[in-house]
Structure 1
């Protein structure tokens, strides 16, 4: 099968998973929205209030819901829309616009890069790293992993398991060793072996923010000093099942590190997928990857058109 056909088949396969994975979120968001749309015959103040309420309940958050409603008011006027069915179309367009990502978001996959993965324990950080490593290895990239979350023995073991599965090299040291030393070794290995991608796992202790800040600062310093020419990326992994809590985590991590992208895991297990819209809108950090299942291929680059179409099941 030619490569384009193969890619197309994969994309359709993932869209199917996305539609299935977003079932609970779709019911949660559209359930409320469609109820409002069907119970109003005219577009008035009460209609907008009810619609805003439905969006807030669906985990889009207060600020995002207000932004959407303001924009909808303008567009309804502009387009002289009289019926609520037309509002549903506009809502889709509005969400696509809000979620739209820049073109060059994945340039780190095209040049020699160091990717730092951060997030609290339990959000699926190590699994995310394993899945990304596997994906890029399959695309013919040379990937090295660094086990710089040295405080949890389980994290090192788990990463070793993933590196075996993906067939990529892992740089690690003993439990409780200095994360900076692990990153230093990994950077030297990445340069020596001309790796395309060095992905570093880091500790996720938000309750001890000061230590975490220091640790990350030290890691950045080492990467900048030892490998200044590499493209640098910081991905924050969030568990979408935690809803608004994920947004709070993102805000706290934003204070600590210069986050370049969000990875949203466990979208298939939650009705709170609306949080993807809130995070991107409120924090202005792009969602770059989403996970809609346990499988190794269930983590994919985020696409706003697909996401919103799957939400509205177009």
Structure 2
């Protein structure tokens, strides 16, 4: 967002079963009226644990719904991320990834920009949680592809994931991908603040890998965790982006975004309802936006333009925010 101003296998252990269930629910979460996947048990170490003897979970294909603004743009971005970040046994590595990208008619040079999306592993599956706009203009776009990834190396499976800011441009033949900017949250703090620990432990705040890593990194302002916890008192929310994996500037401008400065977060699902879904009650979205403002946000954007607010521009709406709610802070 820009601020305004998916191999089943033989039965295995309980953890692997839970992984599979979570991934299946993840695929459903991108569709109308579906609930998010269960939040993993809180961890005070790495958000990407290794499981010996586990198998890769089943994943599902994410597709934009009919209410999306230019759904073909999101489809193009998601297909590329899935092509790079998932491969069968024996087809890992950059060379095989370049072949998969070339098969989509896209520049193979994009593989060199994939970063954490292409770890060294024998096999990988990837589940797109959501794809939201970081910006959409007439001839250019940013699509933030939020994903979970499971990789197998020998007998161990590692659960991880990232968020990729996919840049696209419109050509005479349609939309093409021009660049990839994966999230780089930075290393975790040895001892996160109490507010961050509470946020990570709250089952009503669902965080994808990059957003969780952002909170653990110590580079997110206290106002973000405080607002998340306050909103979680009323809503179950699925966060898409916090700090990393977001454009540095408000898309299409030279104004710095609040996200890279650790002063904003985006929510794509509220109480199991996707913001972009036309079946989601507008009253729910409006109430959430107003409660976000009451939680201290000076800059609340979403699919509905609200009146009122402490300042004339506290609420905003545009095509970019048709699919999520942006919640930004000055400090």
TM-score (norm 2): 0.22
Larger CA Rg, structure 1 vs 2: 1
Higher helix share: 1
Structure of greater relative contact order (alpha carbons < 8 Å, 6+ residues apart): 1
**TM-score, with structure 1 as normaliser:** 0.23
Normalized per residue, the structure richer in strand is 2
